[in-house]
Amino acid sequence: MLTTIQIKSAKAQERAYKLADSGGLYLLVQPNGSKLWRYKFRVGGVEGKQSFGAFPEIGLAEARGLHGDSRKLVAQGINPVQAKQELRVVQAQEQLERERGTFAAVMADWNMATAASLRPSTVKQRQREIDNDLMPKLKNRPMDGITRLELTALLKDVEKRAPEVARNLRNHLWGVFEYAIDSGLMDNNPVPPLRVMKKRNQSNHPALAGEQIGDFLRTLDAATTINEETRIAMLLVLLTACRKAEVIEARWDELDLEAAHWEIPAARMKAKRPHWVPLSGQAVELLTRLRKIVPAGREHLFPNRLDPRRPMANRSLNALIERLGFGGEGTPHGMRAAFSTHFNSLGASVDVIEHCLAHVPANAVRAAYNRHAYQDERRVMLQAWADHLDCARKDGLTPTLRKVA
């Protein structure tokens, strides 16, 4: 029988040679100096060979242990090489089944099954939410081991930071677990009902209070990880008192920066009437800066980064507010409410305020509605609003506005 000293002392020769141990186990010494463990056996009259690896990675004792296991199989008339291959197949299948039932695997299948019907930007946003808040805790968990209690806790934790993201995640989770049920992986959906989430206020969009406007602007100005185009879009929503969609879908041919006004066509307005917007000096400055940032030839002020022919993703500004820590306290649409509250508290003309907001009086006749009405007053009001915002962002000051219009 071989010893470790003999094995270490074995030198390479011009031709390969064998050093026998016992029971068909031997060491094959190659001309290049490598030393390989081999087992020669016979099953059913057919000779076979099995490899156990190389010395010294596989030592003498380990080689004998592997040899002993294989000899037991041979004694039962089982080819050890075939048995090892079959075991690998079974183990691979078992591993595949385990992986198939994990949250990450089912999520990947669900994503693939549902992505085709969604916009690329929506798919990207969905994946970002999943990667940020679901994968770190659920990635390798078996689907049937995830409980309603832990999903509720996870969603509530996210809800403290970003209520809308939490609602989105709850919807994603519902879809994934329904997909798992349809795939035969589980019987019941553990996702908590929608009633456990905070109710979304459908009638009013959360608006920042007067003293919060300055905090928000300073936070927005100081943020270093915010895309500059998104920052400018948020500021323009504030400065113009326009709806989010009107701003992010704006086109360069609607603007006249020299005359400092913006003509929004009827097709893009909620009331399907064109809207004239006087631009404050601050708004013109922002748009001039934006013109230098956006590549020449782009139709939109805020082209989508994935598809420049389309505007910025609809939820970009909501996501920005949440990232800055104001989720649940304000929304892009709520900025219009802040504008209205300020000027109504000053006793400003309701008609001028409503025209700035593109609110058409209930009794207004389409033909009689004049989008250019109160032109001078609206320009004064929006400039006063821009100046107010500048003061609010400085040292937390919230100035008293002079009465306008």
* pLDDT tens digits, 19-61: 999 999 999 999 999 999 999 999 988 999 999 999 999 999 9
* Residue 243 appears among annotated catalytic residues: yes
Cβ proximity of 213 and 326 under 8 Å: no
Kindly state whether residue 55 falls inside one of the protein's structural domains.
Answer: yes
Domain co-membership, 387 together with 340? yes
- Distance between CA atoms of residues 1 and 303, nearest Å: 78
Task: Say which of 67, 243, 355, 393 is annotated catalytic.
Answer: 243
The verdict on 238 and 360 lying in the same domain is yes
Which of 67, 336, 355, 393 is labelled catalytic?
A: 336
**151: buried, middle or exposed (CB in 10 Å: 19+, 13-18, 0-12)?**
buried
* Catalytic pick among 72, 160, 270, 403: 270
Q: Which of 71, 291, 359, 371 is catalytic?
A: 359
| Residue 345 near residue 335, CB atoms below 8 Å | no
In a domain, 313, yes or no: yes
For residue 126, what are the CA distances in angstroms to 156, 314, 316?
18, 13, 13
Q: What local confidence, expressed as pLDDT, does residue 119 receive?
A: 67
Tell me, yes or no, whether 37 lies in a domain. Answer: yes
Statement to judge: residues 224 and 368 lie in one domain: yes
Quick check: is 333 catalytic?
yes
Q: Is 305 a catalytic residue?
A: no
Same domain, yes or no: 73 and 186: no
Q: Which residues constitute the domain of residue 114?
A: 103-196
> Is residue 23 in a domain?
yes
The tokens describing 75, both together, are 């004694």
Residue 267 lies in a domain: yes
pLDDT of residue 347: 84
Q: What is the pLDDT at residue 6?
A: 93
Q: 26 catalytic, yes or no?
A: no
> Which residue among 137, 141, 205, 333 is the active-site one?
333
pTM comes to 0.51
CATH number at residue 324: 1.10.443.10
If one counts the domains in the chain, the total is 3
Residues 59 and 130 in one domain: no
Spatial separation of the C-alpha atoms in residues 257 and 227, rounded to whole Å? 23
Domain finish residue from 91, 114, 129: 91
Marked catalytic residue, from 148, 291, 369, 371: 369
Residue 270 bears catalytic tag: yes
70 HSE (CA, 13 A, CB side): 26
Q: Is residue 202 part of a domain?
A: no
Low-confidence residues of the chain, pLDDT below 70?
Answer: 91-100, 117, 119, 121, 199-206, 209-210, 328, 360-372, 395-405
Q: CATH no. for residue 34? A: 3.30.160.390
Q: Are 400 and 384 in contact (CB under 8 A)?
A: no
Looking at the fold, whether 68 and 107 belong to one and the same domain comes out as: no
Kindly state whether residues 18 and 115 are assigned to the same domain. Answer: no
Question: How far apart are alpha carbons 13 and 369 in whole angstroms?
Answer: 103
- In a shared domain, residues 224 and 308: yes
228 and 373 housed in the same domain: yes
* Same-domain status, 264 and 288: yes
Predicted pLDDT at 58: 93
Note the pLDDT tens digit of each residue in 220-252.
998 888 889 999 999 999 999 999 999 999 999
Check if 355 is active-site.
no
pLDDT recorded at residue 97: 55
